[in-house]
Amino acid sequence: MRVLRLAEPLLPRRYQIVPHEHIAGVLLEAAVTALCGKHIIESDAII
């Protein structure tokens, strides 16, 4: 994990570490809006 933190500025946005607070917020927002169907939220959309 520490190696990833050091290399994070070099990684493309979609491969960067996303804090769990951000993930929880996006999941909660998705649950509240309740769009029909299956939706995939990519990590680069969360950052």
Q: How many CA atoms lie within 13 A of 41 on its CB side?
A: 15
Q: Give the model's pLDDT for residue 24.
A: 92
Query: Could you read off the pLDDT of 35-44 as tens digits, one per residue?
Result: 788 888 888 7
Using the CB atoms, write b or e for 10-39: b if 16+ within 10 Å. eeeeeebeeeeeeeeeeeeeeeeeeeeeee
pLDDT in tens, the chain (47 residues): 677 677 778 878 777 788 899 899 988 988 898 778 888 888 877 77
Q: How many CA atoms lie within 13 A of 33 on its CB side?
A: 9
- The domain limits of the chain are 2-46
Q: Give the model's pLDDT for residue 21.
A: 92
Whole-model pTM: value is 0.61
